[in-house]
Structure 1
Amino acid sequence: MESKRQQKMASLLQQELASVLQRDLPHLFGGGLAPGISLVRVTPDLGQARVYLSLLIGADANERLEIIRENGKAIRQALAKRIRQTARVVPELIFFHDDSAAYAAHMDQVLGTLDIPPAPKDEEKDDEKPARPRLFNPKDDE
């Protein structure tokens, strides 16, 4: 379980990294869409941050991840300019591809192919079902 300090740092990094990638360094992506930051996990000593990027599904996702990893130093420097008043040390950034969207699409496809038979209909009518037990006797109230 993460401490409050780790959670605060992770939240700060997530917000500021998104701004850095979209505003400060959009040229890294050749005018394309900057990746989203889906999750940031920080080590207890705040020395490393695992950044999970939500890249577009497709063949160029690995290429875009490599571009980000190659420019990790520039990203970290731009991040340091943004959080220098808030954080003492900027953690080392380790980037990963978050494939949860692809997994969700795969699971949706699998669930769509299942042949689930309809539930059997109840043969009892609503009138024949036993009544719920009473917590008190209505005759006692009189």
Structure 2
Amino acid sequence: MDSNRQQKVGKLFQEELAEAFRKWGTEEFPGNLISVTEVKVTPDLSVSKIYVSIFPNNRKDEILKEIKTNTPKFRGILSKGAAKHMRITPELIFILDDSLDQIEKIDNALNGKGNNPIL
């Protein structure tokens, strides 16, 4: 269970990164939607795991690689936005959130599409 402080920092980071991805994504990858689905912060606030969802998912690996390459840029954006709340900005770890893919697989299975031996 996350502490109140972890939840507040996670929410702050999620809002800041969502805006940063909106601006950066429209310039670098027009036609793709990059959203931050969840941010988990360690109890000592030294590491943040940022779960990113990319739609459409046909270029998700390329976009995630570019996000990881630009991690220092995003960390700088967070340090400016969170300067009055924190002394140091945590290390950022970006993780692809594949829940949209899982939803699509379940939906296809329920509709009888794909390789479903039960139907």
TM interval, short-chain normalised:
0.7 to 0.9
**2:106 corresponds to:** 107
The aligned length equals 114
Task: Identify unmatched segments of 5+ residues in structure 1.
Answer: 116-142
Q: How does 1:36-47 map to 2 (within 5 A)?
A: 36-47=35-46
Whole-angstrom distance in 2 between the partners of 1:98 and 1:58: 11
**1:48 corresponds to:** 47
Identical residues among aligned pairs (%): 33
TM-score (norm: length of structure 1): 0.72
**2:79 corresponds to:** 80
TM-score (norm: length of structure 2): 0.85
Deviation per CA, 1:41-89: give whole Å up to 9, x if none: 1111110000000112433100000000001011111221121112222
Q: CA deviation at 1:26?
A: 4.3
> Are the aligned partners of 1:57 and 1:102 in contact in 2 as well (CA < 8 Å)?
no
Change (3 A) 1:9 1:67: same
SS of alignment partner, residue 52 of structure 1: strand
**2:68 corresponds to:** 69
Task: Identify unmatched segments of 5+ residues in structure 2.
Answer: 113-117
> More helix per residue: 1 or 2?
2
Deviation per CA, 1:93-124: give whole Å up to 9, x if none: 10011000110111111122265xxxxxxxxx
> More strand per residue: 1 or 2?
2
